[in-house]
A and B are shown apart, each in its own frame.
Chain A
Amino acid sequence: MRGLLAIYRREMAGLFFGPLAWVLLALVFLLNGYLFVLYLKSSGGNVDTAVRLSLGDSWAFWVLLILVPPLLTMRMVSEESKSGLLEFLLTAPISDASVIVGKFLAATTFLALMWSAVFVYAGALSTLGAAPDTGVLIGGWIGAVLASALFSAVGLLASALTNTPVLAAFGAVLMNLVIVIAPLLSNLSDDPVFQRAIRHIDVIDHHTNSFLLGLFDTSYAVFFVAWTVLFLFLTVRALETRRWA
């Protein structure tokens, strides 16, 4: 735990000492703000719909989720492996898992910060007298953070599998893409078992049909947590194979 916190603090500092985090934040805030205004207009002034669109009910949200986490996580393991820092971390008196989880939490925190821009929009709207539904706002944000956590874990796995950050980012984007569009396979067959299996990997559905409705359903939360833990577990294993290879 102590090691995990040390790693987390180091990674947060590392993120914000570099230009990448600031550039990403600026771009995403700009895009999100612009899109939010568009959503407001297109929904005819329905504030709740605009919040829903900006926190998950739109393609833009998922494109950001596919692209941004890999950019954050790509360097976290691969570059440290190249520079020898991984050797330093893995000989420090902390477990491999705490190294990975510390980095994972740092990436997730950054993404949570990124999505919290909606709170600013909501605040601005409520001063104008059109406050969005709090449940939708907070539920949507929690869902977005949980989904971000999943994609961060995928990004870390890709980073742990290669020594080249660019390759890690590319691999992570591909994996994210597969995760997001896999549910489209449901059109292939009407077999009920197949349909059920598809439902168990449908990330978009788990986000939009629960959190975005302002509903915190633990089974939907468990869906995200389970997949995230699986990818983190695989990342720790991937890190361990580096010791053997």
Chain B
Amino acid sequence: MISVSHLTRRFGDFTALDDVSFEVAKGEVVGFLGPNGAGKTTTLRILAGYLPATSGTVRVAGFDVLRQSIEVRRRIGYLPEAVPLYREHRVVEMLEFQARLHGLSRDDTKRRIGEVLEKVGLTDRRRDLVGHLSRGLRQRAGLAVALLPNPEVLILDEPTSGLDPLQRIEVRALIQQLTTRHTVILSSHILPEIEATCPRVLIVHEGRLVADGTHAQLVRSHGSESHVRVEAVVGADVESARRLLGAIAGVRAVHDRGRLGIHHQFDIVCDEDLREDVGALAAAKKWALRELSWRRPTLEQLFSQIATGAGLATPSAARGESPSASASSVAHPSLALASKALASTGLSSAPETSTAQASPTLPVSARPAKVVYNLNPFDMGASRDLGRPKSVEGPTPSASEQRERESGEV
């Protein structure tokens, strides 16, 4: 339905989009994800035929966006972020205007207006002035306008921006209804939203397409693994406990996350949820369990990894996820720069704690491991690695020193 190949767009010296290629099949729902300024809106505007591309071709429903622009525009419903509607008109007048622009017949107009108003739930507000509608209602009116000609492709630019949480849920539900009949491309920087509505995700960062696939595919291809986190008292023989856990069917690897007080923490890498098997093993071995959880990287973690390298992982995830994350960012050469830039700003050093370097199973960089205790004063030493406090060389470096040193090394 949509085919974009080698799309590049420059604004003067600034390259907003750099060699972006993707395909969207009929009936697919695609989420366009990226931080502000990544090039989402530019891409959508090019798809809608508002902006011409500097180079590359874009085809919608088989028509070239630049050369057969009118044919393309007949087939798309485009809702820009600003939700442009004439404020001095009533909702139904705005819809009539759109119907006239698309050349619908009088009967079609009447029927479609009834249908779309019903769909977005504005039937009782049809006579209201657009200027008097609240932001959420205006969003729905905009959606009604975009839907009116029954377009094959629906392009929604940040359909939930500026809405309160309740309105956001409403609009999201509305979009989900639409996905059965239209090919939908929507952009957002709100990740849970994309995760909830779009099976397929495209991630753009600084004008480049850095990831494309379903959530599961992205998780698989970008190195972060789903795992079972288990925290238990396993006694002195940690190594045999590790071997036992590794022997469970379906386990791909066991990472020793070190000792937390009397408990020992393991991450058991596996594709399926193996909590029951691990629990059964713990029961058989009489290990006192403190935590047993199934962790899958969320799109949010994935996104921050992809966009910035390991740096911005959420604090709760930083301890467990950051080692694999840093590994993946190294494996992904196009992202090395981003993570480097981030490290030099000192952002990445803050959430990283000793456990990141201390894990024996991980590819640690060549420099000697430095143990830095968690800098969170409210942590009460919970993440302290009691097993290896002595590996610190000299006095524990302060936070600022640590930051300097890291940026120097990068």
Q: Report the count of interface residues on B (CB-CB < 8 A).
A: 28
Within 8 A of B (CB), among A74-120: 80, 83-88, 90-95
A83-B82 in contact (CB<8A) = yes
Chain B residues positioned under 8 Å from A2 (CB to CB): 100, 103
Q: Which of A13, A80, A243, A244 contacts B89 (CB 8 A)?
A: A13
Instruction: Find chain A residues with CB under 8 A from B85 CB.
Output: 85
Cβ-Cβ contact count across A and B, 8 Å cutoff: 68
Q: In the complex the two chains form, is B101's CB within 8 Å of A87's CB?
A: no
Using CB atoms, name the residue of chain A closest to B77. Answer: A91
Q: Which residues of A contact B100 (CB under 8 A)?
A: 2-3, 5-6, 9
Check if A17 is an interface residue, CB within 8 A of chain B: yes
Contacts of B22 in A (CB 8 A): none
Q: A18-B88, A243-B50 are in contact. Are A84 and B101 (CB under 8 A)?
A: no
In angstroms, Cα B74 to Cα A2, docked, is: 13
- In the assembled complex, the CB of B114 is this many whole angstroms from the nearest CB of chain A, namely 20
CB distance B84 to A243 under 8 Å?
A: no
Please give, as numbers and ranges, the residues of chain A lying within 8 Å of B39 by CB-CB distance.
none
Assess the B82–A84 pair: CB atoms within 8 A.
yes
Answer whether residue A10 sits at the interface, using C-beta atoms and an 8 A cutoff: yes
For chain A, give the interface size range.
Answer: 20 to 34
From residue A69, how far is it (CB to closest CB) to chain B in Å? 21
- Complex CA gap A87/B51 in Å reads 9
When the two chains form their complex, are residues A14 and B88 in contact, meaning their CB atoms are under 8 A apart? yes
Which B-chain residue is minimally distant from A90 (CB atoms)?
Answer: B50
Residue from A17, A80, A86, A91 within 8 A of B78 (CB atoms): A91
Chain B residues at the A interface, C-beta cutoff of 8 Å: 11, 45, 48-52, 70, 73-74, 76, 78, 80-86, 88-89, 93, 97-98, 100-103
Which 7 A-B pairs rank lowest in CB-CB distance, beginning with the nearest? A84-B82, A6-B100, A84-B84, A85-B84, A93-B73, A88-B84, A93-B74
Could you jot down 28 A-B contacts, CB within 8 Å?
A: A2-B100, A2-B103, A3-B103, A6-B101, A9-B97, A9-B100, A13-B89, A17-B88, A83-B82, A84-B80, A84-B82, A85-B84, A87-B45, A87-B80, A88-B84, A90-B49, A91-B49, A91-B73, A91-B78, A92-B73, A92-B102, A93-B73, A94-B70, A95-B70, A243-B50, A243-B51, A243-B52, A244-B51
Contact residues of A with B, CB < 8 Å? Answer: 2-3, 5-7, 9-10, 13-14, 17-18, 80, 83-88, 90-95, 243-245
